[in-house]
Amino acid sequence: MLVNLSIRNIVLIEKLDLTWRAGLCTLTGETGAGKSILLDALALATGARGDAGLVRSGAEQGTVTAAFDIPEDKLVKRIMEEHDLPCEGQIILRRVQSKDGRSRAFINDAPVSVNLLKTIGSELVEIHGQNESQSLTDGPVQLSLLDSYAGHGDKVDALKQKYSHLMECEEQLELYKNASDRAAAEEDFLRHALKELEKIDPKEGEEESLSEERTLLMNSEKIAGYIAEALVLMEGDKALQSSLNGALRQLEKVSDQAAGRLDTTITALERAVIEADEAQTQLLEASRDLVYDPQRLEQVEERLFGLKALARKHAVQVDQLPATKTMLQQQLDDIESGADRLNELQQNVEKAFKDYEVLALSISKTRQQAALKLDKTVMKELEPLKLNGGGFQTVLSHVTPSMGTATGIDSVQFMASTNPGMPAGPISKIASGGELARFMLALKVALAEASEPLTMIFDEVDAGVGGAVAEAVGSRLKLLAENGQVLVVTHSPQVAACGNHHWLISKSVDDDSTMTRVEELSTQNREEEIARMLAGASVTEEARAAAVRLLGGQL
């Protein structure tokens, strides 16, 4: 239940703090006084789209704060717990709208997204604008109303999830079929390409080793010549080893008399002799190994060029050819094993469809039962709303489960007749604006039995009706408010008189500034306001007496 509403700098309201009560709360006032501003402000606080135009002229920002008392088991508390929001005592929604168009949202002083504010707000308040009754002509809205009455919202939510899962399974199957078709078309190419790679059998790092061997083979004669010259120099009369050995022998003759000063040199010469011998040995081995082989060179070049040609063909590096071979083999394996995967995906679709079908048929059966009950309940409300002789029927049509949607296999159309003997037709074509409003009110009274209590707000639901019909509308609104709270903006004195509480909205001009004011009326002031609504600009004693009679029937 809405208990407090605080508004700062919204349109014509500079500062306003209102305390609300349970039951039917009526709001009246002259046209243009600002009744709709209150509804716009409350809508903003409960998650409606922000609008810079709502900020009062001259102010930087406007703020609306709405406080609610809720039952312990209210769904909104569970939603808040899921989002780690504090939830003790009242729930306070606050919206700050800046004149630059930006807005911020808070729940119990914790910053939240506007979407979350809207989710929470929709569980606390239901706002019906002046054209709300037109929504009765919309099929999805009618289906939603029926589901609300049936009380199987959890099943409908589960059905949407099952439908989504079914769509995902069908999409996966379709994608795999398309991929399989493309793969099958490329199978011949894959087999030919794999055969080429298997024939050459590329090895990782092979390009580098072949390039090195090719370079060596191409230069083997030149290298052999230089090795031979080096060996001649090392083995001649003035060979390095002979010179080193001669120097070593001369120093060894006097090493004992040199007091150790030649020891380091002698050691170095010994190492040099050993290294020179080893170098000569390695040169001899290299000379024997290095043989010019034109046939081997041809083989190396043929393989190296073959590898490079295949790499260009597959648009990869030579070293990536082994991985390319593995990838082509995997693609062929996938084609060969595709039947198993295709069968698996088809089974997934069949299972998902069966799960959807079972729940969709169950929901459809519940809807049919609820439709019959709803028709009876609404019919009981037509006479009090002065639709005597009228009729109401919920017509369900079905499609096969294979043609179902996220909401199931059913579509709904509310059919109505407004006079005895008239054939029933779609409610949008049969009912006038005032009759639509009354049909909507009858539905709301019927649905209230199956819904959690929440604050309901009606903006001129009595538009287009008057006299006894308006009085009937007022009585049903009061009935609707018995276990909750209903706020109604009205121009009808009959509806205003039905209220448990009454607020007057007025507009005043002070120092060239226009402001909207709201005042809760006492019993005497209510009589005067209802008399004004009955008489117009000039309130007569007859109007006052009529107002007393109207209120006397309600108080």
Confidence check: pLDDT of 112 > 90: yes
Q: What is the 3-state secondary structure (H, E, C) of 12-51?
A: CEEEEEEECCCEEEEEECCCCCCHHHHHHHHHHHCCCCCC
Q: Which of 104-108, 130-134, 206-210, 474-478 has the highest mean pLDDT?
A: 104-108
Instruction: Assign 111 a pLDDT band (cuts: 50, 70, 90).
Output: very high
If you average pLDDT over residues 408-414, what whole number do you get? 93
Q: Which of 215-219, 357-361, 418-422 has the highest mean pLDDT?
A: 357-361
If you average pLDDT over residues 223-230, what whole number do you get? 76
If you average pLDDT over residues 364-369, what whole number do you get? 96
Q: Which of 535, 531, 527 is nearest to 552 (CA)?
A: 527
Confidence check: pLDDT of 291 > 70: no
DSSP notation for 80-137: HHHTT---SS-EEEEEEEETTS-EEEEETTEEE-HHHHHHHHHHHEEEE-TTGGGGGG
Confidence check: pLDDT of 134 > 60: no
Q: Which of 488, 515, 482 is nearest to 502 (CA)?
A: 488
Q: How far is CA 334 from CA 179, 226, 342, 346, in A?
A: 11, 58, 11, 17
What pLDDT does residue 66 have? 95
- Domain ranges within the chain, ordered by starting residue: 187-336
Could you tell me which residues come within 8 angstroms of residue 425 by beta carbon, excluding any fewer than 6 positions away? 415, 416, 417
Confidence check: pLDDT of 238 > 60: no
What pLDDT does residue 2 have? 93
If you average pLDDT over residues 341-361, what whole number do you get? 94
Mean pLDDT of the chain: 84
- Percent above pLDDT 90 for the chain: 29
- Rounded to whole angstroms, the Cα distance separating 357 from 386 reads 43
Is the separation of the CB atoms in 233 and 242 below 8 Å? no
Instruction: Assign 483 a pLDDT band (cuts: 50, 70, 90).
Output: confident
- Is 202 strand, coil or helix? coil
Confidence check: pLDDT of 319 > 70: yes
What pLDDT does residue 453 have? 66
Confidence check: pLDDT of 340 > 60: yes
Which tens digits make up the pLDDT trace of 22-50?
999 999 988 777 777 888 899 999 998 99
Q: How far is CA 335 from CA 182, 193, 323, 329, in A?
A: 10, 15, 19, 10
Q: How far is CA 276 from CA 59, 90, 262, 389, in A?
A: 98, 99, 21, 127
Instruction: Assign 431 a pLDDT band (cuts: 50, 70, 90).
Output: low
What pLDDT does residue 353 have? 97
Confidence check: pLDDT of 136 > 70: no
Higher-confidence residue of 159 and 32: namely 159
If you average pLDDT over residues 420-429, what whole number do you get? 76
What pLDDT does residue 449 have? 66
Higher-confidence residue of 485 and 218: namely 485
Q: Among the residues of 186-205, which ranges form H helices?
A: 187-200
Q: Which of 40-44, 85-89, 463-467 has the highest mean pLDDT?
A: 40-44
- Rounded to whole angstroms, the Cα distance separating 491 from 377 reads 28
Q: Which of 214-218, 428-432, 441-445 has the lowest mean pLDDT?
A: 428-432
- Rounded to whole angstroms, the Cα distance separating 371 from 394 reads 6
Instruction: Assign 346 a pLDDT band (cuts: 50, 70, 90).
Output: very high
What sign for the dihedral angle of Cα 396, 397, 399, 404?
negative
Q: How far is CA 394 from CA 137, 427, 469, 535, in A?
A: 12, 10, 24, 41
Residue 319 DSSP symbol: G
Instruction: Assign 465 a pLDDT band (cuts: 50, 70, 90).
Output: low
Q: How far is CA 205 from CA 169, 210, 425, in A?
A: 44, 9, 82
Higher-confidence residue of 16 and 32: namely 16
Instruction: Assign 401 a pLDDT band (cuts: 50, 70, 90).
Output: very high
